[in-house]
């Protein structure tokens, strides 16, 4: 018997050694991976160059850290398993009423008399709107947007192209078209991505329809001269709260048929929108509406306005670069005239020879989104002002050096 016990002990000990070796091996591999990642990330130039390209809105991260408990969501495993809510609907009516309330606080949209629709980010709703406006037409619709235009309109319309619609580029192609019968769908981005300008539809008349993309129509990014009141208005949580990863957007639609067609599109594509995304959005809306209800707007405006002032100050001493002009405007939300606080800088390289502005910025390890993506010359570049504090400070530092070196060169010459 003692011999048997010794054998068992020996077997246990060797199993334990095997486990320890496996664990050690796993830890070694994990630490090697982490080291590799650290090396990749410490290659600051590669990492940070890429960073300026996209519009990830992390500037609100500190706001949500300050509101961690009111915005936290916990979902137990058995909760919200059904496709639908208790009333058999795909949409949370509580969320709907909170969204309407947030608009009435921001004074940026008239939502009364319009139906609301949820989508997987505003991206999905933009596609749904093109489908809904074109599906019953007798001839295919030409889809257009005024340059400089947000690139996704072209990419998405081309990708989903069918016999009902086709992307035709800049709106001027239709404006100069003598055939007033041409069915047209115009994306109107207001404020515009990339230049922050407030826009109205260029095309008018019975055969022209507009989809208003109001992703940035919040006091964070623009004065609100009046509440928007168009037939199709699309908003997104990505730019209101910064939660781009939740993939949640909403549309207000006036016309019953257009609304029904958009709804069909969403249900065929998705069978309704994720209930977790709706819960997350509800919690964020509730957090926005606690206290004096204006905290997020005050915070976001102050931050974006401060960023714009710092950037403008650097560029103002340069002859090589210029920024878009945005005039102060009366804002219904702040009830006063306020200055600019755009989401993006639309930078122009002024020198004749600097026709590729990204190449010039590349000298300072900055790469923005090139003008050609927005349907204009590469003399223009979009720089995101929505990034984290660290990313923004690095951008300022590098631009500052670039402008300084311009002055040094001018002195020598």
Q: Is residue 230 involved in binding ligand PLP (CB under 6 A)?
A: no
Binding mask 145-174 for ligand PLP (x = CB under 6 A): -----x------------------------
Length of the chain: 413
How would you classify the pairing of strands 141-145 and 184-189?
A: parallel
Residue 385 CA to residue 344 CA, distance in Å, equals: 5
141 interacts with ligand PLP by CB under 6 A: no
Q: Does 189 bind ligand PLP (CB under 6 A)?
A: yes
What is the pattern of x (binds ligand PLP, CB under 6 A) and - over residues 44-73? -----------x------------------
What is the 8-class DSSP label of residue 213? E
Using CB under 6 A, which of 70, 104, 123, 356 touches ligand PLP?
Answer: 123
> Per CB under 6 A, does 277 bind ligand PLP?
no
Cis peptide before 191 (omega within 30 of 0): yes
Q: Which of 249, 340, 368, 371 binds ligand PLP (CB under 6 A)?
A: 249
* 274 forms part of the interface with ligand PLP (CB under 6 A): no
Q: Is residue 122 within the footprint of ligand PLP (CB under 6 A)? A: yes
* Residue with the CB atom nearest ligand PLP in the bound state: 121
Least distance CB 343 / ligand PLP (angstroms) = 8
Judge if the upstream peptide bond of residue 148 is cis by omega within 30 degrees of 0. yes
Cα–Cα dist 22/214, whole Å: 54
131 interacts with ligand PLP by CB under 6 A = no
- Spell out the residues 6+ positions from residue 184 whose beta carbon is closer than 8 angstroms to its own: 141, 142, 143, 144, 174, 203, 207, 208, 209
Q: Are 328 and 320 in contact (CB under 8 A)?
A: no
Q: Which of 183, 193, 261, 384 binds ligand PLP (CB under 6 A)?
A: 193
108 touching ligand PLP, by CB under 6 A = no
Kindly tell me which of 49 and 382 has the beta carbon lying closer to ligand PLP. Answer: 382
Give the whole-angstrom CA distance, residue 299 versus residue 253.
Answer: 30
CB 354 within 8 A of CB 320: yes
What is the binding site for ligand PLP (CB under 6 A)?
A: 55, 121-123, 150, 189, 193, 213, 215, 236, 238, 244, 249
């Amino acid at each position: 018997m003692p011999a048997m016990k010794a054998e068992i002990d020996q077997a246990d000990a060797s199993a334990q050694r095997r486990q320890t070796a496996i664990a050690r091996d796993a830890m070694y591999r994990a630490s090697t991976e982490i080291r590799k990642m650290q090396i990749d990330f410490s290659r600051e130039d590669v990492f940070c160059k890429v960073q300026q390209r996209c519009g990830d809105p992390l500037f609100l991260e500190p706001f949500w850290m300050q509101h961690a408990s009111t915005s936290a969501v916990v979902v137990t495993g058995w909760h919200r398993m059904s496709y639908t809510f208790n009333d058999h609907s795909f949409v949370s009516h509580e969320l709907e009423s909170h969204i309407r309330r947030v608009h009435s606080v921001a004074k940026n949209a008239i939502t009364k008399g319009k139906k609301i629709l949820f989508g997987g980010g505003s991206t999905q709703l933009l596609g749904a709107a093109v489908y809904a406006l074109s599906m019953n037409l007798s001839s295919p619709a030409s889809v257009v947007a005024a340059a400089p235009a947000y690139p996704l309109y072209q990419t998405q319309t081309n990708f989903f192209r069918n016999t009902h619609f086709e992307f035709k580029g800049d709106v001027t192609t239709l404006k100069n078209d003598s055939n007033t019968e041409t069915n047209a769908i115009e994306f109107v981005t207001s404020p515009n991505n990339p230049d922050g300008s407030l826009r109205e539809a260029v095309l008018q008349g019975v055969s022209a329809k507009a989809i208003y993309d109001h992703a940035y129509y919040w006091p964070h990014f623009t004065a609100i001269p009046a509440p928007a009141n168009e037939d199709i208005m699309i908003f997104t949580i990505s730019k209101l709260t910064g939660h781009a990863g939740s993939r949640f957007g909403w549309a207000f639609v006036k016309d019953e048929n257009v609304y029904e067609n958009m709804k069909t599109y969403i249900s065929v594509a998705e069978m309704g929108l994720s209930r977790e995304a709706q819960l997350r959005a509800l919690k964020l809306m509730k957090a926005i509406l606690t206290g004096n209800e204006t905290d997020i707007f005050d915070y976001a405006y102050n931050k974006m306005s401060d960023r714009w002032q710092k950037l403008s100050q650097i560029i103002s001493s340069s002859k090589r670069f210029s920024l878009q002009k945005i005039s102060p405007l009366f804002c219904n939300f702040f009830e006063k005239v306020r200055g600019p606080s755009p989401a993006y800088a639309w930078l122009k390289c002024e020198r004749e020879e600097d026709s590729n502005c990204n190449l010039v910025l590349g000298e300072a390890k900055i790469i923005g989104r090139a003008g050609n993506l927005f349907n204009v010359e590469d003399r223009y570049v979009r720089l995101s002002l929505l990034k984290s504090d660290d990313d923004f400070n690095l951008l300022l530092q590098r631009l500052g050096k670039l402008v300084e070196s311009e002055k040094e060169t001018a002195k020598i010459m």
